[in-house]
Amino acid sequence: MKIKNYSAVYRIIHWSIAICMVLLLITIFLRLTWMNKNNVAEIIQNYLNTTDQSLTQDQLIVLAKKIRQPMWDWHLYLGYVLTGLFSIRFLLPLIGEMKFQNPFKKELILKEKFQNFIYLIFYGCVVTSLSTGLLIIFGPATIKKSMEAIHVLSIYYLMAFLILHICGVLLSEFTNQKGIVSKIISGNK
Ligand code: HEM
């Protein structure tokens, strides 16, 4: 199978998106683990138990969220950067760069059809995550809860895509597309 050439624009956008997504995943991971509000509240509670002071559970949670906020601000910053990057990515085909590949093209082999189809699903899911994220912040209060319910599901497709994508790329590298990894990093040398 012929290996594609990845232009500088393609590579810059690809790796900018990849880095942002990994950092975004780290913020989600921290929120679910070490910086989980219940964990932090428990740490504060345990400390207060060794002193003569006490706080209600609600106060502990407010304090825990305040401690977590500077970390979580990065989730929002990365969300804004990703919105910009994906907007650029969706506009690039207009100038002939990073064109979308049609998964239904007859001449493609099954693996390529599957790969292109996965990218389309991924883009659909990303648009949903970004728009629900923006609506949580800037949308009307009445839809906030339903937007949150959809937004929190993002982690599932993101993990599934990353595992599939990295395994797919490695499989290509070690079978019929040797050099694909170095091409997406340093281009067509
Ligand atoms: C968070 C991590 C990553 C994300 C979100 C991501 C996302 C994507 C997306 C959406 C595409 C399709 C671009 C398009 O044509 O529209 C793509 C292509 C590609 N990615 Fe990644 N990627 C990630 C990490 C990686 C890594 C670690 C590698 C290599 C080791 C890699 C190698 C490639 C290659 C070779 C292509 C081109 C495949 C083709 O020709 O269709 N990616 N990536």
Distance from Cα 13 to the centre of ligand 1, integer Å = 10
Question: What is the position in ligand 1's atom list of the atom closest to the CA of 98?
Answer: 15
pLDDT at res. 2 = 64
Question: What is the position in ligand 1's atom list of the atom closest to the CA of 19?
Answer: 1
- Exposed e or buried b per residue across 15-37, where buried means at least 16 C-beta atoms within 10 angstroms of its C-beta: ebbeebbeebbebbebeeeebeb
Task: Give the SS3 label for residue 105.
Answer: coil
The mean pLDDT of 168-173, rounded to a whole number, is: 94
> Which residue intervals of 33-153 are DSSP H helices?
37-49, 57-91, 110-138, 144-151
The answer to whether residues 6 and 184 touch, using CB atoms and an 8 Å cutoff, is yes
**pLDDT band at 188, cuts 50/70/90?**
confident
The mean pLDDT of 105-110, rounded to a whole number, is: 91
The answer to whether residues 72 and 31 touch, using CB atoms and an 8 Å cutoff, is yes
Residue nearest to atom 39 of ligand 1 (CA): 4
Residue 132 has pLDDT above 90, yes or no: yes
Q: What percent of the chain has pLDDT over 90?
A: 92
Residue 145 has pLDDT above 80, yes or no: yes
With a 6 A CB cut-off, is 171 part of the ligand 1 pocket?
A: no
Question: What is the position in ligand 1's atom list of the atom closest to the CA of 122?
Answer: 10
The mean pLDDT of 97-118, rounded to a whole number, is: 93
From CA 137, how far away is CA 148, in angstroms rounded? 10
**pLDDT band at 133, cuts 50/70/90?**
very high
From CA 46, how far away is CA 6, in angstroms rounded? 54
**pLDDT band at 3, cuts 50/70/90?**
low
From CA 57, how far away is CA 172, in angstroms rounded? 53
Picking from 2-6, 15-19, 86-90, 130-134, which range would have the lowest pLDDT averaged per residue?
2-6
From CA 134, how far away is CA 4, in angstroms rounded? 35
Q: What is the mean pLDDT of the chain?
A: 95
Over residues 30-67, the pLDDT tens digits come to 999 999 999 999 999 999 999 989 999 999 999 999 99
From CA 92, how far away is CA 84, in angstroms rounded? 12
Distance from Cα 173 to the centre of ligand 1, integer Å = 13
Over residues 71-105, the pLDDT tens digits come to 999 999 999 999 999 999 999 999 999 999 999 99
Q: How far is CA 50 from the centre of its chain?
A: 41
Which of 127, 130, 122 has its CA nearest to residue 164?
122
